[in-house]
Amino acid sequence: MSIPTENVGSLPRPMKLQAAIADYDAGKITKADLKIEQDAACKDSIERMEATGSPINSDGEQRASSFATYPLADTLAGTGLADNLAGDGQYFAIFTDGHHRQLPRLTGGPFKYKTYAADYLKEAMPLANKPLKQAVIAPSMLYLLYPLDGEIEGYTREQFTEDLVNECEKDIRKCFETGAQRVSIDFTEGRLACRNDPNNPWTGRGMLEEFINLNNRVIDRFTAEERKNIGIHTCPGGDCDSTHSADVDYADMLPSMFKMNAGYFLIQLASEPDKERIYKLLGEHSRADANGVPQVCFIGVINPLNPTVETPEQVRDDLLLASKYIPVERLGSTDDCGFSPFSIDVKPKHGSPDFARDVAFQKIESRVKGTQMASEELGLN
């Protein structure tokens, strides 16, 4: 049994697709016109990811407005916003390069997804020759749609939370029913919750434990057998080649994160300054038995924000070092983040989204090769 390897989910959208999204927002083209570009980008993403040798792939989230807003709006600019939402919600994150990303604001109930991740997966399945995974958004992120203070008239926080948990459960179940082999939950707000940024009020509210409990309300609705294939992704953000919480010490977050009863974790690590210290933390805090399922640690070996392609040897060496601290049967490899979690992303350090796509596939190929090399070295094949 070799070391498993899996991507997070997204790829940069081709420049042609990003232009089509802008034209759609401006009313210059129809939704059907936009879909032609999305179809082409999904097909290209799956074909090229499969060509890297990767055992499991995704459609690169080419149809999604972002990893967080896909259930709520057709585009990042807010075209096709779901019912009971307004565009002017709180900042989800302020990035180190100064740009920010904002969430919509809930104006009333009930809270319902407009689009489920499985709606995209359904389109991707016929294009794939290998198993597909699907990423979904965590309830803890969408919890931030509700105003931080006070209550919405006629729709209590408790009512909203119950609706949210039901929708997130449905989102995951539909992915498995549609044919996903694995489903990972994006939890980028976990590390950000430890940041306490005065410019971003929610980060100073000590919400991490609340997030963990909320996510477990969804995860605990699944059997141990199902949870083997339900993952959690943690990272310091990855948008426009910039991060939002890389300065937060993982030691503040990881012990809480592993309280979630998920079967695997996709953990940003390639861009950490002291990887060995974090490998050690993973070995200490991940659980061999999380209510019936072992927690497998997929360590990040690829940095999607940096155009320099990691070599397979670097990937191998990271895994070999990690295997000193994490039991090999609970070790995997991944990328630090999606390659473009938001649909509109010029990938400034790469020069262009199209070039960043080429780089992404080279990086995935290195991850696959290096993971294979580590498996051989550890006598797993």
Q: Which residues bind Zn ion (CB under 5 A)?
A: 188, 235, 238, 337
Looking at the chain, the number of H-run helices and the number of E-run strands are 12, 10
**Min separation Cβ 281 and Zn ion, Å:** 18
238 vs 263, which CB is nearer to Zn ion?
238
134 vs 372, which CB is nearer to Zn ion?
134
**How far is it, in rounded angstroms, from Cα 195 to Cα 247?**
8
**Min separation Cβ 204 and Zn ion, Å:** 22
Task: With beta carbons less than 8 A apart as the criterion, state whether 263 and 290 touch.
Answer: yes
Outline where 286-352 has alpha helix (H). 312-322
172 vs 235, which CB is nearer to Zn ion?
235
Provide the CA 272 distance to its chain's centre, in angstroms.
18
Outline where the chain has alpha helix (H). 15-25, 31-51, 117-124, 139-142, 157-178, 189-192, 208-219, 224-227, 254-257, 275-285, 312-322, 353-377
**Min separation Cβ 84 and Zn ion, Å:** 27
**Min separation Cβ 35 and Zn ion, Å:** 26
**Min separation Cβ 335 and Zn ion, Å:** 9
13 vs 316, which CB is nearer to Zn ion?
13
**Residue among 211, 248, 246, 249 at smallest CA distance from 232:** 211
117 vs 373, which CB is nearer to Zn ion?
117
Phi, psi dihedral angles at 297 (to 5 degrees)? -100, 110
Task: With beta carbons less than 8 A apart as the criterion, state whether 374 and 319 touch.
Answer: yes
**Min separation Cβ 152 and Zn ion, Å:** 29
**Is residue 184 helix, strand or coil?**
strand
85 vs 232, which CB is nearer to Zn ion?
232
Indicate the burial class of 358 (C-beta count within 10 angstroms; 0-12, 13-18, 19 or more): middle
106 vs 231, which CB is nearer to Zn ion?
231
**Min separation Cβ 171 and Zn ion, Å:** 18
Buried b (16+ CB within 10 A) or exposed e, 76-98: bbbbebbebbeeebbbbbbbeee
**Min separation Cβ 139 and Zn ion, Å:** 17
**Min separation Cβ 301 and Zn ion, Å:** 14
155 vs 332, which CB is nearer to Zn ion?
332
Buried b (16+ CB within 10 A) or exposed e, 226-253: bbbbbbbbbbbbbbbbbbbbbebebeeb
**Is residue 92 helix, strand or coil?**
strand
48 vs 244, which CB is nearer to Zn ion?
244
Residues shown for the chain = 381
